[in-house]
Chain A
Amino acid sequence: MKTYKLFENLGYEILNKGEDRLVSGVYCCDLLSVAMSKGKENAAWVTVMSNVNTVAVCTLVDMSCIVLADGSSVDEAMLEKAKEHNVCVMRSKLPVFETAKEIFDTLNLFGDRLEEYCD
């Protein structure tokens, strides 16, 4: 599944459209240096940590998009950075687990290859 299809299906708010990338799993973590080491390529990253560094970590480990859970607020700097690096940032109203679960279920529903990881 691709990012655009994911937010279409789940009705997430689009904060920055970015690149339409393959999503093949879900990763959850708010500690950046843990995400840096454990985040997997092409995972949708569900987090409540919303700042410029979230975008930096996402691009460095090649996760496919950032899904801000719990309706987390974002600042201009983060959106600027997301634009600059062409990173898709969406927002869900649900908490981290529920958000990750619905992404997981959606991916499963579409029969995609899936690796699930949560720290």
Chain B
Amino acid sequence: MSDKLRFHYEVSGEDFTRAGEASSDLKAKLKLMGASPEVVRKVAICMYEGEINMVIHACGGVIDVTISPADILLELKDVGPGIPDIEKAMQEGYSTASENIRSLGFGAGMGLSNMKKYSDEMKIDTVLGVGTTVTMRINM
């Protein structure tokens, strides 16, 4: 028997009112499992920023979560436009969000740096016109 738990989420790229639901669901699950508040907070931040990026920059995607005794792995995959310059995108304050998206409170250009800061390991695989996969590991 495997000691890993897996969860799969489909993130809609159209429905803004549902953005963040996958993150809320995972957070509730982790709390129930008795993960430490610090781990719960780190996962919530990483997952939410990734989920929102999928919605506002890439028309949605899928998230796979693997929970093991040692760590939590978040894999966010989209088939959006890709990121032309990762280094630039990682900079605090850099954002290509539209006026419309900014008026909703997004677009500070902090999402990716939050993900980097609150995960123990982060990797971005992106191909222009094909999509982006962001993988993050958070230690228990």
Contact = CB atoms under 8 A, between A and B. Distances in A.
B73 interface: no
Specify which of B20, B109, B111 lies most central, judged by the most chain A CB atoms within 10 Å of its CB.
B20
Contact of B23 (A49, A52, A60, A62): A60
Given A30-B105, A56-B24, A85-B24, A36 B17 contact: no
B137 to A, nearest CB: 18
B110 A59 contact: no
B7 interface: no
Contacts of A80: 17
Contact of B20 (A31, A37, A49, A60): A60
Bin the interface of chain B by size: 20 to 34
Interface of B is mostly: helix
B110 A51 contact: no
Given A56-B20, A77-B17, 18 more contacts: A31-B108, A32-B104, A33-B109, A33-B111, A33-B114, A36-B49, A36-B110, A49-B104, A53-B104, A53-B105, A56-B23, A57-B20, A57-B48, A59-B24, A60-B44, A62-B41, A81-B17, A85-B24
Interface residues of A, number: 23
Contact of A37 (B27, B45, B52, B105): B45
Contacts of A56: 19-21, 23-24, 48
Contact of A53 (B20, B45, B108): B20
A62 to B, nearest CB: 8
A37 B19 contact: no
Contacts of A61: 41, 44-45
Interface in A52-111: 52-54, 56-57, 59-62, 77, 80-81, 85
Given A52-B16, A56-B19, A60-B48, A34 B24 contact: no
